[in-house]
Amino acid sequence: MNSEVFIEVFRDPWLLEWRSSLLLVSMGWLVAIACGWLGVMLLLRRIAMMGDTLSHSLLPGLVIAFLITGSRATWVMWIGALVAAGVTIVLIELIQRYSRIKADAAMGVVFSFMFALGVILITLFSRQIDLDADCVLYGELLYLMVEPGVHWMGVTLPPAAWLRMVVIAALVIVFILSLYKELLASAFDNDWAGSAGLPNRFTHHTLMAILSLTIVSAFEAVGAILVVAMLVFPGATALLHCRRLPLVLAATSFHSLVISLAGFHLSIWLNVSMAAAMATVAMLWMISIWSGQKIKSKKKDNLTCAT
C-alpha cells in the first residue's frame, strides 16, 4: 500500500467526511455490540444457530406482510418479521418438546422450512413483489448516509435507523445486566437452575424476544449476513481468551469496535460493502486472537518445561 492510498483510506475519511464516517463506524459498532452480547448468551447455551435460523426465517414474514398490506413501509416489514420470528421460536420449542429431535436439528429443520416457504411465496407472487433479495441478504450500511436525519426540537439528529439501533443496543445491555444471574445459571446448569427456583422459561423467552427484536432491527440496517456474523464472531473471539463472563462481555464490546473500525477502512480500500468487509475482518481478527493464544500457551509450556 503506497502512501497515497494510505492517506485516502485512513486519513481522508476522518478529515474530509468525519460526520458520515463516524455515523457508519458507530452504526457498525452498535450492531456488533447488540448482536455480540446476545451472541455470547447463545454460545453459552449452545444455540448459536438460533441467529442464523431467525434471520432466515424472517423472509416469509416479510413477504406475507407485503402481500396483505401491499406496503413496504418499515413498520409493516417490522411486524411481519416479528411475527415470523415468534412462529419460528414456537415451532422450535414444539419440535423439541414433542419429539426426540435435538435443539440444533430442530433449528435446522425450521429454518430451512421457513426460508423455503419465503422463496415459494416470492416465486408465486413475483409479479406483485419487488423485494430486493440482495438488499435483504447483504444489506447496505451506506444507505444510512442517504437517509435523512431526524429533526427534533430544532436539531438534526442522526437517521432513524441509527437511533433505533442505539435503543436496541441499550435494551440488550440492560436486559443482560439485569437478568445476569438467571442467564448465567440457566446457561451453566439449566436443570439445577430450575430446581433452585430460577425462572428458566421466563429467562429463555425474554432472551428469544429480545433476540428477535434485535435481529429484525439490525437486519433492516445491515442485512442478514452481518447480523449472523456479529452474533457469532465477537462473542466467540472473546470466549477464546476470557475466563469469566464479565470479562467476556467487556472483550466482546472491544472486539466489536475493532471489527467495525477495521471493516469500515477495508470497505473504503477495496470499495466493497461495509457489511461484507466487517464479516471478513471479524474472521481475520478471530484467527489472529486465536494464534496469539496458541503462541502464548506454547511459550508458557516451554517455560514450565525449562524449570
Partner 1 sequence: MSPLEFHDLTVSYRQKPVLYGIDACFPTGALVGIVGPNGAGKSTLLKAGMGLVPMSSGWVRFFGEPLAKVVRRVGYVPQRNAVDWDFPVNVRDVVMMGRYGRLGLFRRPGKLDRRIVEDSMERMGIGNLGSRQISELSGGQQQRVFLARGLAQQADLYLLDEPFAGVDAATEEAIVVLLRELKQQGRTVVVVHHDLGTVERYYDHVLLLNMRLIGFGPTQEVFNVENLRQAYGGQLNVLSRLALQRARTTEG
The footprint of partner 1 (CB under 8 A) covers: 44, 178-179, 181-182, 184-185, 187-189, 191-199, 239, 242-245, 247-248
* 149 versus 194: smaller Cβ distance to partner 1: 194
Comparing CA positions, the residue from 38, 33, 30, 31 lying closest to residue 206 is: 38
* 179 versus 278: smaller Cβ distance to partner 1: 179
Name the minimum Å distance from CB 106 to partner 1: 18
- How far is Cα 54 from Cα 143, in angstroms, rounded to an integer? 23
Name the minimum Å distance from CB 30 to partner 1: 24
Comparing CA positions, the residue from 210, 80, 86, 92 lying closest to residue 136 is: 80
* 50 versus 141: smaller Cβ distance to partner 1: 50
* 163 versus 242: smaller Cβ distance to partner 1: 242
Comparing CA positions, the residue from 151, 47, 176 lying closest to residue 103 is: 47
Strand bridging mode 149-152 / 155-159: antiparallel
Phi then psi for residue 152, to 5 deg, are: -150, 120
- How far is Cα 307 from Cα 303, in angstroms, rounded to an integer? 6
Name the minimum Å distance from CB 131 to partner 1: 40
Buried/exposed 81-118: b ≥16 CB within 10 Å, e otherwise: bbbbbeebbebbbebeeeeeeebeebbebbbeebbebb
* 129 versus 242: smaller Cβ distance to partner 1: 242
Name the minimum Å distance from CB 14 to partner 1: 36
Name the minimum Å distance from CB 43 to partner 1: 10
